[in-house]
Amino acid sequence: MADRDLLESLAAEVETNLVRHIAAAPEWQPHDYVPWDDGRNFEFLGGTDWDPAQSELSEVAKTALTVSVLVADNLPSYHREVGKYLRTGPWWRWVGRWTAEENRHEILIRNYLMVTRAVDPVELERMRMAHMTAGFRRPALHLLDVLATCAFEEAAAAVRHRNTARSADNVIVGAIAERLAADDELQAVFFANLVAAALDLAPDQTIRAIAGRVADFHVPVVQLADGRTSDEVLAEAGVYDRASEPELVFAPLLEQWKIFTRTDFGEDGEKARAELAHLRP
């Protein structure tokens, strides 16, 4: 099916899932997680500039939150990459809702980091400028590729935030990471449900997209100030290791979509399923 036909055919499913998502997503406020009493002015306004001794977070927590805020800061690029495919009716309303949720993550983490002086604000701003200037752009994709990619990306973000929460030695950081993970999981459900609907509508075409996105999957990577990449640092810290993606990101979604038990694939679909055999439980 052409992307235009898929957009129309799946529109009712988008509307249903948008209503479900909004009902399932609890209202929460970013400012509630920030210890505002810890805040004070920097030298520009007569206060004191940042000093490493002011940070009370572990290196793992600082790195994990730095990566999270830089990824979230690059939201304009992600909004563009998702929105350019989904510009009609309920699809566009979902893009707006998803963007608002992701922006809330950036607001929360940045406020927390600045108020608590957990990281060097000058260094963080320099990394933000570099990361956003470089931007993020995907090669041209079809609609089903976009949906599968987004399902995997949100599942991966949830894994990263759950692991951040587990490794946190700070109660507030743990609560923040759990909150973000819960949002990521709900967003992953939204995209996964659309992939499931597409499998029923165009099984061969959809599993081909899934297999392609598994083969080409990579999470957003941030270049850190010390020259290392977020991939390296988060793997070393046990927060997110790409070697665990088959077990923690791909397998749960493939099981949800019943990839290895479906009986409606044609020849092309069976070829695509064979490419996923290494993920079979």
Query: Cα 184 to chain center, whole Å?
Result: 6
The pLDDT value recorded for residue 80 is: 67
Q: Where in the chain are the domains?
A: 3-279
Tokens at 111, concatenated: 């406020």
At 122 the pLDDT is: 95
**Ramachandran quadrant class, 46 (left: phi over 0; alpha: psi -120 to 50; beta: rest):** left
Residues forming beta bridges with residue 223, ordered by sequence position:
229
Least confident segment among 62-66, 114-118, 221-225, 271-275: 221-225
Output the average pLDDT for the chain.
92
The predicted structure's pLDDT at residue 78? 64
Which residue did the predictor score with more confidence, 138 or 257? 257
Residue 79: pLDDT band (50, 70, 90) is low
Annotated binding residue at 278?
no
Entry pTM: 0.93
Estimate the share of the chain in helix, then strand, then coil, as percent rounded to the nearest 5.
75, 0, 25
218 is in an annotated binding site: no
Reported as a pLDDT band with limits 50, 70 and 90, residue 225 is: confident
Contacts of 209 (CB under 8 A, 6+ apart): 142, 144, 145, 147, 148
Looking from the CA of 11 toward its CB, the CA atoms found within 13 Å total 13
Tens digit of each residue's pLDDT (9 = 90 or more) over 4-59 = 899 899 999 999 999 999 999 999 999 999 999 999 999 999 999 999 999 999 98
Residue 142 annotated as lining a ligand binding site:
no
CA-based R_g, the chain, Å: 20
What is the rounded average pLDDT of the residues 238-250? 95
Least confident among 84-93, 99-108, 194-203: 84-93
pLDDT attached to residue 37: 96
φ/ψ (deg, to 5) at 114 = -75, -45
Fold designation for 3-279: Ribonucleotide Reductase, subunit A (1.10.620)
> Whats the size of the chain, residue-wise?
281
Give the CB-side neighbour count of residue 98, counting CA atoms within 13 A.
Answer: 29
For residue range 129-168, what is the model confidence (pLDDT) as tens digits?
988 887 667 777 788 998 999 999 999 999 999 999 998 8
Non-local CB neighbours of 134 within 8 Å, separated by 6+ positions:
none
Encode 100-132 in three state secondary structure: HHHHHHHHHHHHHHHHHCCCCHHHHHHHHHHHH
